[in-house]
Amino acid sequence: MSSRINQHRTAAQTLRTVKAAFVALSLCTLAACDQLLGVDNPASVTAQSLDDPTLLPALAAAAIQTAQCGVESFDITGGVLSGEYWSAAGLVDNHTWEWRSVGDIKNAPGSCTFSRTTSAMGFYTPLQQARFQLEDAFARLDKFTDADVPNRQLLMAQMRAYTGYTLVLLAEGMCDMTIDRGPKMTAAQVLAIADDRFTDAITRATALNNSSLLNMARVGRARTRLDLKKLPEAAADAALVPANFVYNVEFTDGGDARRENRIYNMTIRNDYESVPPAYQNLTVNGVAGSVPDPRVKVKDAGRNGNDGITRMWQQQKFIAQAGATPIPLASWNEAQLIYAEAVGGQQGFDAINKVRTANGVPVLTGPAPTGQAFTDLVLEERRRQLYSEGQRYADMLRYNLPFQSGVNRKGQVYSNLTCVPLPNVEVLNNPNFGS
């Protein structure tokens, strides 16, 4: 038993050391680093030592862990920006995201070094660090053979698929983008790279006969192509995803907040985010009249949040395993709704009803709406089915839907910010942008 414990400790220590070095290296994507090793490295691991093939599985695991942090950061931050959540916290770095304070948001690129009692809103740094780590790990894996690194082909496929997701989320949420201190990029340019990464992941996952990773990448590419308005291609990918498929971002509930579900921590443990009226008491029409919509379960906690003003309504979607509750990254539900939006008409209407049936929601009766009415229907289905999964924010930007405006319950005036501007740390240290 002691031998096994020591093995686990050694593996965990290796992962922590590699991740510390990897984060230090990835800081160069967000600050002026004239040399790769110009960043103070707390783990004293050189870039060259990371080319040791025995370290590469841990390197890849660290990159995936950062990507998972980026995904949940996008989900909760996008949820506040889009009005899926209201800030009930007294923390300055939290409520400024609800009323979309431009200056504060530019100074808050996000972080994965948070605790259960901090907010650390923002998604730019976590996603950019993850993208860098994933691409770097892929390049290092590419130098070796399958004999050198166990599961090398699987690791390379994972790096490609997760890279695709980091790029999609950045393209969807940012006003402008840049990669590795490069020039300004449009969303379409970033999405084109994401498409390439997903395509490579699909090829590799197919060769490995890994259906889980294959369908994760298919959903990601379908999402990318929907963003690019390549509707036939998006529909083709989405149609291949099998029923009941879901690929989750996984967490553990062991006291390390960086490995816990932040949505759970911020909505249940800490009373930082409350579900606003637009998502309370939603119903659908069934045979017995209106019934509660099971896709958006919320509960009145019977108290105000930490700000002493906002009534706490708690999401009930991510509570089954407390801080270890997984968050969907890709699913059949999403794929079918992508398909519905891409094809429209009766086929799209039928896809919506398939998702409704699978989730215990009464089906809609025909005929299928057309034009704007169908678009409105799809967006409402997505708003409910994909609640708190980082989708609503992207939908609002894609369709230029109105954001919260006026004065909120705290007397704060909503700004006209919608997409997230590049943070000051990027602009000030990137030679392609003015000071």
DSSP code string of 283-315: EEEETTEEEE-TTS-EEEEEEE-TTSSSEEEEE
DSSP characters for 106-157? HT----S---TT-----SHHHHHHHHHHHHHHHHHHTTS-TTTSTTHHHHHH
Short-list 278, 259, 313, 276, CA closest to 61: 259
Q: What is the dihedral of CA 62, 68, 71, 75, to 10 degrees?
A: -140
Cα gap 237→8, rounded to integer Å: 40
Burial class of 105 by CB neighbour count within 10 A (0 to 12, 13 to 18, 19+):
buried
Cα gap 88→222, rounded to integer Å: 35
Token pair in block for residue 334: 């999403």
Backbone angles phi, psi at 289, to 5 degrees: 95, -160
How does strand 246-249 pair with strand 283-286? unpaired
Sequence-distant (≥ 6) Cβ neighbours of residue 141 within 8 angstroms: 56, 60, 149, 152, 155, 156, 159
Short-list 319, 321, 322, 277, CA closest to 300: 277
- Map residue 413 onto helix, strand or coil: strand
- Map residue 57 onto helix, strand or coil: helix
- For every one of its 435 residues, what pLDDT tens digit does the chain have, with 9 covering 90 and above? 333 333 333 344 445 545 554 544 554 445 433 332 233 334 445 666 678 999 999 999 999 999 999 999 999 999 999 999 999 998 878 999 999 999 999 999 999 987 766 777 999 999 999 999 999 999 999 999 999 999 999 999 999 999 999 999 999 999 999 999 999 999 999 999 999 999 999 999 999 999 999 999 999 999 999 999 999 999 999 999 999 999 999 999 987 888 999 999 999 999 999 999 999 999 998 666 689 999 999 999 999 999 999 999 999 999 999 999 999 999 999 999 999 999 999 999 999 999 999 999 999 998 999 999 999 999 999 999 999 999 999 999 999 999 999 999 999 999 999 999 999 999 999 999 865
The position carrying tokens 């590795």 is 180
- The answer to whether 382 and 337 are in contact (CB under 8 A) is yes
**Domain spanning 13-40+51-249+331-397 has what CATH number?**
1.25.40.390
Beta-carbon count within 10 A of 290 CB: 10
Where does residue 215 fall: left (phi above 0), alpha (psi -120 to 50 degrees), or beta otherwise? alpha
- The answer to whether 265 and 252 are in contact (CB under 8 A) is no
Look up the pTM and report it: 0.90
